[in-house]
Structures are given as structure tokens and as C-alpha cells.
Amino acid sequence: MDIVAMVNALPGWVKEMGIVLLSATPEEVTCEWEVSEKHHQGYGIVHGGVHCGVIETLASVGAAVVAHPRGQHVVGLENNTSFIRAVRSGKLRGLAKPVTRGRTSQVWEVWIRDEQEQLVAQGRVRLLCVDENRALG
């Protein structure tokens, strides 16, 4: 299964936001997107929810790459995102790396940087690993 192609082809929030997944391994997940008006809040800067969503997405993809071969799904339990620098335009890149990839839970850290490699946002997501035959929700 090519997770990068699969995520990039899915309809929904990631596609609507113009986020392109670049890589996804158990060690690292990356993406990029071009900031436009659809990402802005009222002051004309990227909405914090966009940063939270990208951080959640990258952590979830990374955790899934680890969990799926074990017959598990992952669901997010906690997303702690800090907004460091306001952005109005340009290309942003996200990078996720695991803190822990345990049997029942995982923690991933994510950094979002601008074209000058300045930190824009960073976050940590805790995810639950659930057996694939268990109903979610």
C-alpha cells in the first residue's frame, strides 16, 4: 500500500486545504502546501485550526504506518499545538517524527516551517492504537 498516494487521493479536508503528503515512513512524515486565502482567519493570517489539522494529519499518518502492519487503527486522543509565527503567504512544510511508537499508544511531534526554515507552529499528538476488528466511535 502506497500511503502517500492513498492520502493524496482521498477527498476531504486534506485535499480541500491543498496539502500534499510528500513522504510517510515509521520514522518521518512530510507534507507541504501553498498558503492562500482559504487558510486565513479574519486578520489575514493562517488560521490556527489549519496548523492543528496539519499536525493531526501528519501524526495520524505516521502512527498508521506503524500500526496498520500490526492489525491496528489509530485515533487521536490529544493534540497540543503552539502557534509560533504568523504567516500570510508562501509555502509551508510539515515534518513529523515519533516520540514513542508503543503497542497501545503513540506520540508524534510535528514542526511546521516556512520557506526560510523559520518555525511557524509545532505540536505533539497522542494517539490510541486500536485493534482493527474493534468498532471506532
Alpha carbon distance 103, 40 (integer Å) = 38
Cell of 3: 500511503
- Look up residue 108 and give its DSSP letter: E
Residue 37 annotated to the active site = no
**Radius of gyration of the chain, Cα coordinates, nearest whole angstrom:** 15
Of residues 35, 29, 32, the one with CA closest to residue 125: 29
CB atoms within 10 A of CB 92: 23
Residue with C-alpha cell 479574519? 42
Candidate list 56, 78, 115, 117, residue with the active-site label? 56
Question: Which residues are known to be catalytic?
Answer: 56
